[in-house]
Amino acid sequence: MPEGFSEQVALVTGGSRGIGRAAAELFAAAGVKIAITYKSRKPEADHFVEEVSRAGGNALAIQADFAESAAPAVAVEAVVKEWGRLDILVNNAGLTRDTLVMRMSEADWDVVMQTNLRAAFLASKAALRPMLKQKYGRIVNVSSLAGVTGNAGQANYSASKAGLIGLTKALAKEVGSRNITVNAVAPGFIDTELTSGLPAELLERARQAAAIPRIGTPADVAPAIVFLASREAGYITGQVLGIDGGLPI
């Protein structure tokens, strides 16, 4: 695990489960003061805070529905109010509303774009205020293989994750001179609730096509997020790291 996280503060959006939870646990283990947001899973979020506290760490759970425009800035402000700074932002909160474009409602399009992309923009904008003041920061966006290749039945999700890649590359160029890096991870098929509704045949085809013939886990993704958020990754920015077991693109 990378070192040098002493006295740092991180916010992982959507951190009560899946990839976000796995990353938050690694940050906590590295001594980072860690805040997570959750939409409705209060028991899971509270349990995470309790676990970190029992281990001697510092954790905070913030209820926030990222489909609401005010939520990202409110979450960032809560972290800065609690600990006085923010060093790391992981834009992980996301959802799916899968269906073919001909059947997709505008509401299904809008809520996915709002939660997956617009909220990441708003959270990043809010996080940049303390990061610019500190002249230090790390932003890691959780995109997806779907944002690189597109998935049938996921036009809204694919578009939102492709947008995150564009946001990553543009923002990296804006803030690199202030010692702030912006990178993304693009997981493939990972065993989370977001993939639990995908057809079994699709998951099996993905497993067989991968160079590493299995479906990934959150634990396969979290270490990459933590590395990109570390001081050691200070000369890496504007990059998109595929974590897909070697699926052909």
- Residues marked as catalytic: 157
The number of beta carbons lying within 10 Å of the beta carbon of residue 126 is: 21
Mode of pairing for the β-strands spanning 9-12 and 88-91: parallel
Q: In whole angstroms, what is the distance from residue 191 CA to residue 84 CA?
A: 35
Q: In whole angstroms, what is the distance from residue 134 CA to residue 70 CA?
A: 24
Helix (H) or strand (E) holding 75: helix 71-83
Q: With beta carbons less than 8 A apart as the criterion, state whether 144 and 186 touch.
A: yes
Please choose, from the candidates 1, 96, 69, 85, the residue with its C-alpha nearest in 3D space to the C-alpha of residue 35. Answer: 85
What SS3 class is residue 180? Answer: strand
- Secondary structure of the chain: what % helix, strand, coil (to 5)? 50, 15, 35
Helices vs strands, H then E, count in the chain: 9, 7
Per the listing, tokens 């886990």 go with 217
Q: In whole angstroms, what is the distance from residue 22 CA to residue 30 CA?
A: 13
Roughly what angle, to the nearest 10 degrees, separates helices 218-228 and 18-29? 50
